[in-house]
Structure 1
Amino acid sequence: MQCTKNQVRRMREEAAVISRVRLRQSRLSMKLGRRRPTRYVELHGMNSALRRSLDDAISAIKHGCGQMT
């Protein structure tokens, strides 16, 4: 299967766009990593604690555990 010149040009342009997007993402992650990763850790911890408490409440409702009568 042979590609036409237009198809080859389009594939090269798409590859260039994809590589630029990946480069921006890696630069952003490097900047975030250098700055303050503790804020991300704090937010992630709060989110997981909230999710845990919601899961506990849902399981208590489903299974009838821990309910006060």
Structure 2
Amino acid sequence: MSWDESRYKATCGACGHEGVQVRRSNDYGESDDRWEGFETVPANEYEYYRKRSVAHVPVCHCKSNDIVIGALIE
């Protein structure tokens, strides 16, 4: 089983802080997100159980969770 990794520019919509979203997926359709430059916290239970959110969401150091995903980093 091999994992493919893609890196995307991530920017906080509130303060402009920049980081990276690392998205990984494998041959079995499993995926995993990792965040560089942002903390991750458990998602709101209501949003998670209603399938509106992933289990852990990124949060900027300014406490905003308005993270905008940008272009693929080559």
Over alpha carbons, which structure has the higher Rg? 1
Q: Would the TM-score normalized by the shorter structure come out above 0.5?
A: no
TM-score by length of 2: 0.18
User: Which structure is higher in helix share?
Assistant: 1
Structure 1 length normalisation: TM-score? 0.18
Structure number with greater CO (CA < 8 Å, separation at least 6) is: 2
More strand by share: 2
